[in-house]
Amino acid sequence: GTTRDAVDIRIVRDGQAVVLVDTAGMRKRSRITENVEYYSNLRTIRAVEQCDTACVFIDASEGLTHQDMAVVQHVMDARKGLVIAANKWDLVQPDRDQRTLFEESLVRLNGLEFVPIVRLSSRSGWHVPDLLKRALRISRERAKRISAPVLNRFLENLNRKQQPPSAGGKLIRIHFAAQVNVKPPTFAFFVNHPRLLKENYKRFLEAGLREAFGFQGVPLSLVFKQK
């Protein structure tokens, strides 16, 4: 039947207690016609905000739709771990046109290349166990902490490759960095002129952090403070 409410399923996987939350699908507001659906959507949003890692199921035979991206963006805004489950892959695999449609739809994930995609079939069970493995791995990544000495060696190496571009005739210097939180991983960079640091260099920093330390499927929070 149609899921109307979030349903908790408690399991133990490799000695680890896990709560799976099966939520109602999120539809466009313009298509929500019943009070039941409205509150069902609210409970789904609340489940996302309370979870550690969200598995967003999409119909691979349709590709990544705008509504799917709205759900993905909600997970990103909530700073949760994310894995995309491309369901019904058994329908797509033999169909070249549908495979092309699916690959072209992934362009919508621009800037979210760190989000893994698990191709699976709920009907046959193909690759379904891989989804849980990936979700648990992402949950561990969200809790990962990088020590200050390791982080600042990374920063020194990055500065050797590329210094922050100057702005307004002023040289920009990042003096040191520290990880100040986990779940989500949050990094503070202490800069002489934080307001002048350009967005493309901030993206360069994030890409460098991911290349050095992983954080697959995990949104990172970078804050820049005056030093």
Q: What is the 3-state secondary structure (H, E, C) of the chain?
A: CCCCCCEEEEEEECCEEEEEEECCCCCCHHHCCCHHHHHHHHHHHHHHHHCCEEEEEEECCCCCCHHHHHHHHHHHHCCCEEEEEEECHHHHCCCHHHHHHHHHHHHHHCCCCCCCEEECCCCCCCCHHHHHHHHHHHHHHHCCCCCHHHHHHHHHHHHHHCCCCCECCECCCEEEEEEEECCCCEEEEEECCHHHCCHHHHHHHHHHHHHHHCCCCCCCEEEEEEC
Average pLDDT per block of 10 residues along the chain, 227 residues long: 68 90 66 49 77 94 90 92 95 88 93 96 94 95 97 94 88 95 97 93 95 97 94
* pLDDT given for residue 161 in this prediction: 87
* pLDDT given for residue 32 in this prediction: 46
pTM: 0.86
* pLDDT given for residue 209 in this prediction: 97
* pLDDT given for residue 1 in this prediction: 43
* pLDDT given for residue 23 in this prediction: 81
